[in-house]
Amino acid sequence: MANIKIEKINKFFDSNHVVKDVSLNIKSGSFTVIVGPSGCGKSTILRMIAGLEEINSGSISIDDVKVNDLPPKDRNIAMVFQSYALYPHMTVYENMAFGLKLEKKTKDEINSRVLESAKILQIEELLKRKPKQLSGGQRQRVAIGRAITRKPKVFLFDEPLSNLDAALRIQMRVELAKLHNQLKVTMVYVTHDQTEAMTMADDIVVLDNGIVSQKGSPLDLYNKPTNIFVAGFIGSPKMNFIKSEILSITNNSLECSLLSDTKITIKKEIKNNLNVGDKITLGFRPENLAINKNLNQEIFTKKTVWRGKIMVIEQLGANLFYYIENKDEPIVVVSPESTTNLQIGDIVNVGFDPSKLYIFDINKISI
């Protein structure tokens, strides 16, 4: 196992500044996921850790040893790529043994490590096949197995599941989590899929345009987002946002506008220098909203309500997602009911508990 310390690293591609003063401490033995939209710089950071991209400024240390000038082969890391990167003319066994042969390991040690890795990944019966005879999931297991045989201090994964179908991605997520629990080594995983991040990570790093927007455990990022970007990126469906204005302020509460024709009172300790008339943004998690035609229903007790029209209904088995018309953009409401008499075009009441609101100021930070 090894810790990774990244200090104010920067990367330029010509005049494009893609990684901007990023600093991270990745704990030894942790499963850390770097997540963000395409083009945010996450794969570039991974390649800089691996030594495949030059660092323009800053430093990276692995196990307290600065590796800026070390070639990839001397960093004791193993990388699993999105494209599998298997040699098509070699068998699975030969692919998994290739790195060990370059390290001039003995035949007995190579055989022992390959068989051990194949057993961990349950691919012993595939060792004599070539990549073209394998499914996508099997090829990814071989690519992971090739990394395991090296017994590196750090595993690096660059969107390894993005080429797999949805069902296989779920299966491989479970397998990777089990693998980490079994090997207990440091893993750094890059993805644009926040579901992968939430289900596998000990720590998540949310990257936005080359800058670390927030770092923390999955539940910390979900429950305590520090800005609108993280609040909107973490969670599926994403958080709803409504523009609002402060109407009055007392010691521990705000009165705000809601969709211009409703007022709500939010009890919250206010630390920022806010004033009456300031523009803010209110955030609502879909699962914290309730929907019904009848205001007398128990689900609306002690909840603020507004009305809207159902524009779209998504039926996903145990959950139903309702898209309710709003002046800015549709509000998403999640219902745990598998059956309902609500239909597209219905005018409904939407209720929520003000204590579960998120408030963001004009600078898009959490209040």
CATH assignment at residue 344:
2.40.50.140
197 close to 173: Cβ distance less than 8 angstroms: no
Single-letter code of the amino acid located at 109: E
Average pLDDT, the chain: 88
For residue 281, the enclosing domain spans 240-360
Last residue of one domain, picked from the residues 210, 233, 256: 233
Residues 303, 227 within the same domain:
no
210 close to 18: Cβ distance less than 8 angstroms: yes
As a whole number of Å, the CA-based R_g of the chain is 25
In a domain, 365, yes or no: no
- For residue 206, what are its two tokens? 């949310």
- For residue 114, what pLDDT is reported? 94
- For residue 107, what are its two tokens? 């035949």
Residues 75, 146 within the same domain:
yes
Q: Is residue 338 scored above 60 in pLDDT? A: no
Q: The sheet that has 304-316: what strands, in order across it? A: 289-292, 347-352, 304-316, 319-324, 331-335
**Residues 37-43: what's their mean pLDDT?**
93
Looking at residue 125, which CATH number applies to its domain?
3.40.50.300
Residues 189, 270 within the same domain:
no
Last residue of one domain, picked from the residues 177, 211, 233: 233
The rounded distance, in Å, linking the Cα atoms of 240 and 244 is 13
- For residue 243, what are its two tokens? 């523009």
Higher pLDDT, 6 or 332: 6
Q: Is residue 34 scored above 70 in pLDDT? A: yes
List pLDDT tens digits, range 213-262: 999 999 999 999 999 999 999 998 889 998 888 888 887 788 888 776 67
CA dihedral sign, ordered 258, 264, 268, 270: positive
**In the block, residue with structure tokens 């521990």:** 252
pTM (2 decimals)?
0.88
- For residue 301, what pLDDT is reported? 54
Per-residue confidence band for 299, with pLDDT thresholds at 50, 70 and 90: low
- For residue 126, what pLDDT is reported? 94
Going by C-alpha positions, the residue among 192, 190, 188 that lies closest to residue 180 is 188
Q: What is the 3-state secondary structure (H, E, C) of the chain?
A: CCCEEEEEEEEEECCEEEEEEEEEEECCCCEEEEECCCCCCHHHHHHHHHCCCCCCEEEEEECCEECCCCCHHHCCEEEECCCCCCCCCCCHHHHHHHHHHHCCCCHHHHHHHHHHHHHHHCCHHHCCCCHHHCCHHHHHHHHHHHHHHCCCCEEEEECCCCCCCHHHHHHHHHHHHHHHHHHCCEEEEEECCHHHHHHHCCEEEEEECCEEEEEECHHHHHHCCCEHHHHHHCCCCCCEEEEEEEEEEECCEEEEEECCCEEEEEECCCCCCCCCCCEEEEEECHHHEEEECCCCCHHHCCCEEEEEEEEEEEEECCEEEEEECCCCCCEEEEECCCCCCCCCCCEEEEEECHHHCEEECCCCEEC
> What percent of the chain has pLDDT above 70?
93
Per-residue confidence band for 132, with pLDDT thresholds at 50, 70 and 90: very high
In a domain, 367, yes or no: no
Q: Which residues on adjacent β-strands are paired with residue 79?
A: 156
The rounded distance, in Å, linking the Cα atoms of 273 and 249 is 11
- For residue 151, what are its two tokens? 């017994």
Measured at the CA of 359, the angle between CA 354 and CA 360, to 5 degrees, comes to 165
Burial 211-241 (b: 16+ CB within 10 A, else e): ebbbbbebeebbeebbbbbbbebbbeeebbb
Residues 304, 166 within the same domain:
no
Q: How far apart are the first and last CA of the chain?
A: 38
Residues 213, 300 within the same domain:
no
- For residue 340, what pLDDT is reported? 64
Per-residue confidence band for 137, with pLDDT thresholds at 50, 70 and 90: confident
Residues 181, 302 within the same domain:
no
The rounded distance, in Å, linking the Cα atoms of 351 and 346 is 16
Residues 292, 176 within the same domain:
no
In a domain, 308, yes or no: yes
In whole angstroms, what separates CA 162 from the centre of its chain?
13
Residues 207, 132 within the same domain:
yes
In a domain, 76, yes or no: yes
Residue 176 CA neighbour count, 13 Å, CB half: 34
Work out the number of other CB atoms within 10 angstroms of the CB of residue 12. 13
Residues 260, 212 within the same domain:
no
Q: Is residue 85 scored above 80 in pLDDT? A: yes
Residues 71, 144 within the same domain:
yes
Number of domains in the chain: 2
Last residue of one domain, picked from the residues 233, 249, 271: 233
Residues 212, 104 within the same domain:
yes
Residues 217, 248 within the same domain:
no
List pLDDT tens digits, range 170-206: 888 888 898 899 888 999 999 999 999 999 999 999 9
In whole angstroms, what separates CA 265 from the centre of its chain?
33
In a domain, 366, yes or no: no
